[in-house]
Structure 1
Amino acid sequence: MKDFINILRRFIPPYKSRMLLNFLFNLLSAIFAVFSMALMIPILEIIFGQSRDVMALQQWTFDLGTIKNNLYYYVTFVKNEYGGGYTLLFVGIFIILMTLLKVGFAYMAAYEAVHIRNGVVRDIRSQLYSKVLRLSMRFFSDERKGDIIARATGDVAEVETSIMSSLDMFLKNPVLIIVFLISMLVMSPTLTLFIFLVLPVAGYIIGRVGKSLKKVSREGQDKMGVILTVIEETLGGLRIIKAFNAEKKMDEVFQKELDGYKGTMNRLMSRRELAHPMSEFLGTIVIVVVVWFGGTLILGNKSSLTGPTFIAYIGIFYQIINPAKAFSNALYSIQKGLAAMDRIDMILKAPITINDKENAKTVQAFKNQIEYKNVTFAYEGKAVLKDVSLVIPKGKTVALVGQSGSGKTTFVDLLPRFYDVDQGSITIDGTDIRDLKIHDLRELMGNVNQEAILFNDTIFNNIAFGVENATMDDVIAAAKVANAHDFISETEDGYNTMIGDRGSKLSGGQRQRLSIARAILKNPSILILDEATSALDTESERLVQEALENLMKNRTSLVIAHRLSTIKNADVICVMHEGKIVEMGTHDELLATEGQYFRLHRMQSF
C-alpha cells in the first residue's frame, strides 16, 4: 500500500481539483445511499403493523432526531389521510428520489475519476518517452531494446489496467465505508463494534494471499521483455534467418520463452482469480455471523433494535460488502501493477549522466580548433581509448583508420557528448565541451553514419529532420548537392513519398544520399562521417563519395573509413590501434613510413 500511495503522490498533484470533486460526489452518493436504505424502515413498519404515529411537526434542523420525527409526521399524515397503500407509495417515491441522487452523484464521481486515470497514464507515457530521449547512449548499451519497448508499452498498459483502474475504488470505497459505518454506529453501536472485530480477520486473509502476487507479476513482465526482444531481433534479422535455414532454431527459442511466460502467467492468474471467490465466501461468513449476533440481541431483548431497523441495518451493512470486495480485487490488481511500475521506474529513475552544467556556456560558432587532451574512456571496465591527444584545426579533414575495435567510433562519439570522457578533456576553441550547452554543441555538428538512420515518413521530412521551418526549395537544393534529386523525382510522389520502415523502399545508396542531404540542409560547422560508403556498391559509392565531397567543402570533418581510397586527400590520417593513435600524417607520408597504414593499404590494394 505504501508503494501505491507513493505513486499517487508522484502523479496525482496536477489533478487535485478533480480529486476534491470526486471526494465530494462520492460523499454525497454515500449519504443518499444511507437515506435510501433508511427509508425502508417506515415501509417495513407499515407492512408489519409496527408503525408509530407522530402528530407534531418540528422546526427543520440538521439533526437526526428532527429529520426522523418530521419524516414520520408526514408518513402518519399520509397514512391517516389516504391509508396504508398510498403511504407505501409515498415513501417509495422518496426512495426512488434518494436512489436517483445516489447514482447521479456516483456517476459524477466516476466521471472525475476517469479524467484522473487517463491523465495520469498520459503523464507516465509522456515522462517515459521524454526520459528515453534524455538518457545517455551508455544506458541503452546495457539494456535490451525489446525490454525497453516492453516497459514503454506493456508495462504502462499494465499500470493503466491494474493501478489506475483501481484508483476509482480507492477514491470511492473509503468514503462509502466510513459513511455506512457511521450510520451503523448510530443505529446499533453494539452490533457495529462486533463487526469491527470480524472484518479485520477477513481483510488479513485476503492481504496474505495478495502479497505473493507482486513477485510473480515481475517475473511475467521480465519474460515479456525477452519475448519482445526475440520478435524485434527476428524482424531485423529475417534475411539472415532465412539464408541460414534457422527458422526452426528461432522458433524453438521463441517457443521456449512463450512456455516460460505461460507458466508464470498461469501462476499469476490462478492467484488473482482467487480474489473474487475468496472475498465472496468470506463476505457470506461475515453476513451470517452478523445476522446471528444481531438476531440474538433482538430475540434476547438486549438491544433497542427492532425487526424493521435490523433489516435496514443489514441492508446498509451489505452496502459495505461490495466496497470491501472491490478492495480485495483492487489489492490483487495493484500488486501486479506495482511490479510493472518498478520496471518503468528503472527508466524514469535512471540517472541522466549527460546533462548541462549549471551556468553552462552558449556557443554559436566554431572558430579555431578542436582539441582532444589526454582522453581516456572505458566501457564496462575495459579501456577503449587510452590517453589520446589530437588537435583538429578548423576547415581540415581528419581521417581515422584502423582495425575494428580500435576505438574510432568511440573517438568521434565523444565529441557530441554521446558519452563523456573518463579522463582528460575535449575542447572547442579552448572551452571544455562539458562546459557548453549540449543543444548548442550538437547544433554545430552533422552526422552521416554507416547505416543510414531514416524514419518511416516522407522524403521531405527525413531531409528536413531537425531543421525548423525548412522550405521545399531548401530541401531540393540540399538533395541536388547530395546527388539525390534525380532519384527522388522518379519516385511516385516525389518529395512526399513515404520511404517505409528505416527507408526499406529505397536502396542503400539512396538511403545514404538522403542522410547526406539531411546533413547538408543542417549546414553544420563540424562534420562526422562514420564509414559512410563502406556498405555500398561501386556506382552508389561514386555518387555518395561525390556528395560527401560537396558536403565536406570548407568544413571541419572527422571521417572514419575502412576503404583507404576514400580518404587519400584527407589533411591528416590517424591510424588507431587498441585505443591509441599509433601513426599520424598524410597519405603519402604514412606510406613512406611502411608502418601500420602501409600494411593496411597494401592489403586493400592486393
Structure 2
Amino acid sequence: MNTYFRILRFGRPYGRYAVPYFICIILHTVFNTMTFAMLIPIIQTMFDANSMMEAVTAMPPFEISTEYAKAVMNYGLYRVAGAGYTIKDMLFMLAILTVVIVFLSNLFRYFAQRTLENLRIHTLQQIRDTMFDRVARLQVGYFSNERKGDIISKITSDVQVVQFCITSTFQIFFKEPFLLIGYFVLLIGISFHLTLFTLAVLPVIALCIGYIVKKLRRSATEGQEAFGEMVSLLDESLGAIKTVKGYNATDYIERKFRRLDGRYSDIMRAIARRQQLASPMSEFLGIASLSFILVYGGNMILNGELTAAAFIAYLGAFSQVTRPARAIADAFGNINQGIAAGERILGMMDTAPAITDRPDAKSLDEFAEGIEFRNVSFSYEDKQVLSGISFTIPKGQTVALVGPSGGGKSTISDLIPRFYDPDSGAILVDGTDLRDYRVESVRAHMGIVAQETVLFNDTIEENIRMGNDTATPEEVAEAAKVANAYDFIMETEHGFQTNIGDRGMKLSGGQRQRLSIARAVLRNPDILILDEATSALDTESERLVQESLSSLLKGRTSLVIAHRLSTIQHADKIIVIEAGRIAEQGTHAELMALGGIYRKLIEMQQLAE
C-alpha cells in the first residue's frame, strides 16, 4: 500500500481536479438515474393512461417516490396547458423531458472526462519530469551497472502504466460508486423488497472479480521487466548497427529480439486474458442474477405488489448496475498494474546519488593555485584500480598521463570532476578537499574533451552552445574558428543551423571532435581535461584537431591523457601510470634519459610508425 500512496502524490494538487470532477460526477449521476426513472411514466402513459392522468392544481410536497414524480408532471402540464391537457400532451412533455435529461447527463459526463484527462496529462508530466531529474543527477557509476534501455523503459512505458493508477483511483472513489448509489436509490424507490433480494446476489460477483484481479499484479511486474530488456536490446542494436552488419550478426540479433519479444508477448497475453475475463464474468453473473430477479419480480407483479412499468424500469436500472461494477473491476486491474510499474519507478527514484554535496559545502568561486592528488586510491566494486596516487598540477601547467591501457589513466581524469569519489586519500583544489566544494561550482571551472565525442541530434550551434547556453551567435562562431571547425561548418547545408543527426553521424570523426573542442572553447574553462582526444582520428584530422587543442591549452591548467606520445612531449610534466600506480614522472627529456617505461613506449610507437 505504501507504493500505492506514493504514486498518488504525483497527482497533486488534487483540489484542482477533484472538486470539479466530483461536482460533474454528482450531476451526471443524478441525470443518468433520472433517465431510467423516465421509463415508468412513459410506459404507464402508453399502456395505462388513466393511472397517469390526474388533476393536480398545487405543487405537491417533496418526497422520493414515483407518485411524487407523477404529481409534479401533472402539475407542470396543468400550469402549461390548463385543465384540458390530453395524453398526447403528456407524451410530448415526457419526450422533451427525456431529451433534456439525457443531454445534461452526457454534458456533465463530458466535463468529468475532460477533467480526468487533464489530471492524466498532469500526472504524466509530473512523473516524467521527476524521473528525468532524478536520473540526470545520479552518479556516473550508476549507469555502468544499469541497462540504458531498461532506464528508458521505466521513464516511458512504466510511467504510462502508473498514470492510470491515479485516474483509476478517481473512478473507484468518485464516479463508479456514485453511479451505483444513484442506481440503488432508484431501485429502492421502486421496490425495497426486490432490492434486498438483489443485494444478496452482488457479493458473489465481487468475489469472482476480486479473484481475477488479484492475479494481475505479479504478471504486470514481469511484463514491465521483459519490456525493459527488449528496449535495451533495441537501443544497443540500433546504436551499433554498423558493427552488427559488419559481423553479419543480423540474424543473431533478430533471434535474440524475437525471443525477448515472444516472452513479453506471452506475459501480455496472460495479463489480457485475466483482464478480459473480468468484464464477461461480471456481465454473465449480472445476467444470471437478472434471471433470478425476473422470477422474483414476476411473482410480485402477479401478487399485485409491483406494477409492470415499475418492474421494467427496475430491470433497466439493474442492468446498468453491472457497468460500474465492471468498471471498478477494470480499474482495480489498472491499479495493480500501476503498482507493479510504480515499484520499478520508485526503486529508481529511491536510489540515492553517491556523489552529493556536504551540508557545509562551499562554492569554488575562483580557481587560483592548482590541483593535488594526495595518496589517492580507488576501486570499482572489488577491483582495485588506483593505489597511492600522488601528484600536483600547478595552475597554468599541463600534466600528461601515459601508460599501458587499463592502468587507471581515465579513472584519474574522472575523479577531478567528481564523477567518482576516491576510496581513500584526497584530491585538493586550491588546498581544499574537492568534497568540501559544491559539485556544480567545481564543474563550472572545467571543460572535458573525451575520445568518444558525445553530440546530440540537434543543430551545430546548439551542440556547441551546450558549453555555454547564454553565448551569442558571434561567440559560438568565434569558438568554432579557434577549434578549426568554422570552415567545414560553413560548407554544410545550413551552416550553424545544420542538424547533425543522431550522435552527430552526419559528420566525420574529426569534425565531431572539433565541435567538441569548440564546445570547450566556448566554456572558457580554467581546468581542461583531454582524454585521448585524438586517438581515433586519421593523420589529417589529428593534425587539425591537434592545432585546435594547442590553442585551447594555452594558459590553462590541463590534464592530458595521450595515446600518441608525440602529442604530449611539450607537457610541463609527464606521468607514467602502470597497474594503478605512478611508475615514472618528469619532463620528456628527463624520462627519455631515465630509459624506463616511457622510453620503451616511445620506441615502440616509432617502430610501429
TM-score, reference length from structure 2: 0.92
CA separation in 1, counterparts of 2:3 and 2:178?
A: 21
The residue number in structure 2 matching 1:453 is 454
- 2:249 alignment counterpart: 246
Matched, 1:339 2:352: no
1:158-182 CA distance string (max 9 Å, x none): 445x546646633421221123223
Counterpart AA for 1:64: I
Question: Structure 1 residue 82: deviation in Å?
Answer: 2.4
Separation of aligned partners in 2, 1:25 and 1:305 = 34
Change in Cα spacing, 1:52 to 1:463, as seen in structure 2 (3 Å) is closer
Residue 80 of structure 1 deviates from its aligned partner by 6.3
1:20 aligned residue: 19
Q: After superposition, where does 1:70-149 map in structure 2 within 5 Å?
A: 70-71=71-72, 73-74=74-75, 77=78, 81-149=84-152
**How many Å apart are 1:450 and its aligned residue?**
0.1
Q: Pick from 179, 188, 191: which aligns with 2:182? A: 179
Distance 2:116 2:374 in 1: 58
- Is 1:228 aligned to 2:231, yes or no? yes
- Alpha-carbon RMSD: 2.6
Q: Which amino acid aligns with 1:357?
A: R
Question: Following the alignment from structure 2 to structure 1, what is the Cα–Cα distance between the partners of residues 287 and 3?
Answer: 31
Partner residue of 2:201?
Answer: 198
1:80 and 1:48 map into 2 onto residues whose CA distance is 22
1:346 & 1:319 partners in 2: Cα distance?
41
The answer to whether structure 1 residue 284 and structure 2 residue 287 are counterparts is yes
Matched residue type, 1:39? M
Confirm or deny: 8 A CA contact 2:37 2:186 kept in the other structure.
no
Query: Which amino acid is 1:535 matched to?
Result: A
Displacement of 1:366 after TM fit? 0.4
SS in 2 for 1:14: coil
Following superposition of structure 1 onto structure 2, how do residues 455-604 of structure 1 map, counting pairs within 5 Å? 455-604=456-605
Aligned equivalents of 2:202, 2:580: Cα separation in 1: 69
Letter in 1 for 2:327: A
1:316-331 equivalences under 5 Å are 316-331=317-332
What SS does the aligned partner of 1:273 have? helix
Q: 1:297 to 1:350 in 2, by over 3 A?
A: farther
Which residue of the partner structure matches residue 358 of structure 1?
A: 359
Residues 298-338 of structure 1, C-alpha deviations (whole Å, 9 max, x = no match): 5456xx64433333233322232211112222333333333
Contact 1:275 1:332 in 2 (8 A): no
Between the aligned partners of 1:60 and 1:122, the Cα distance in structure 2 is: 53
Aligned AA for 1:43? I
Alpha-carbon shift at residue 582 of structure 1 (Å): 2.8
Counterparts in 2 of 1:290 and 1:409: CA distance versus 1, 3 Å? farther
- Partners of 1:365 and 1:525 within 8 A in 2: no
Aligned AA (2:475): D
Distance 1:150 1:76, change over 3 A: closer
Structure 2 gaps, min length 5: none
Q: Secondary structure at the match of 2:201?
A: helix
AA in 2 matched with 1:219: E
> SS of the residue aligned with 2:506?
coil
- Contact residue 58 and residue 75 of structure 2 kept, 8 A: no
Partner of residue 417, structure 1: 418
- Say whether the 8 Å CA contact 2:29–2:178 is kept in structure 1: yes
Alignment check: 8 A CA contact 2:407 2:578 kept: yes
1:114-147 Cα deviation digits (max 9, x unpaired) = 1111111122222222222112112111111121
Number of aligned residue pairs: 602
Residues 374, 169 of structure 1: alpha-carbon distance in 2 compared, 3 angstrom cutoff: same
Secondary structure of 2:356's aligned partner:
coil
Quote the residue 2:399 is aligned against.
398
Matched, 1:35 2:34: yes
* Residue number in structure 1 paired with 2:51: 51
Q: Secondary structure at the match of 1:527?
A: strand
**More deviation in 230-239 or 554-563?**
230-239
Structure 1 residues 193, 139: closer, same or farther in 2, change over 3 A? Answer: farther
Tell me the distance in 2 between the aligned counterparts of 1:530 and 1:572: 16
Aligned residue type for 1:424:
G
Percent identical: 44
Question: What CA distance in whole angstroms lies between the structure 2 residues aligned with 1:95 and 1:594?
Answer: 102
Corresponding residue of 1:432: 433
Deviations, residues 254-277 of structure 1 (Å, cap 9, x unaligned):
232233223223323233332332
Note if 1:270 corresponds to 2:273.
Answer: yes
The 3 A distance-change label for structure 1 pair 290 and 424 is farther
| 1:178-229 CA distance string (max 9 Å, x none) | 2322343444333333333321221121121122222223222222222222
Asked if structure 1 preserves the Cα contact closer than 8 Å seen for 2:415 and 2:422, the reply is yes
Unmatched runs of 5 consecutive residues or more in structure 1: none
Structure 1 SS opposite 2:416: coil
Distance 1:255 1:315 in 2: 49
Distance 2:90 2:123 in 1: 50
Q: Quick one: distance in 1 between partners of 2:244 and 2:95?
A: 73
Shift of 1:560: 1.2
> Are residues 192 and 415 of structure 1, via their aligned partners in 2, closer, same or farther at CA, if it must alter by over 3 Å?
farther
Cα distance in structure 2, aligned partners of 1:103 and 1:166: 20
Partner Cα separation in structure 1 for residue 197 and residue 132 of structure 2: 52
SS of equivalent to 1:290 = helix
SS of match in other structure, 2:157: helix
8 Å contact kept, 1:37–1:315: yes
| Aligned residue identity for 1:20 | V
2-side partners of 1:426 and 1:33: how far apart? Answer: 72
Distance 1:350 1:74 in 2: 69
* TM-score normalised to structure 1 length: 0.92
Q: CA separation in 2, counterparts of 1:569 and 1:169?
A: 72
- The alpha carbon displacement at 1:517 in A equals 1.0
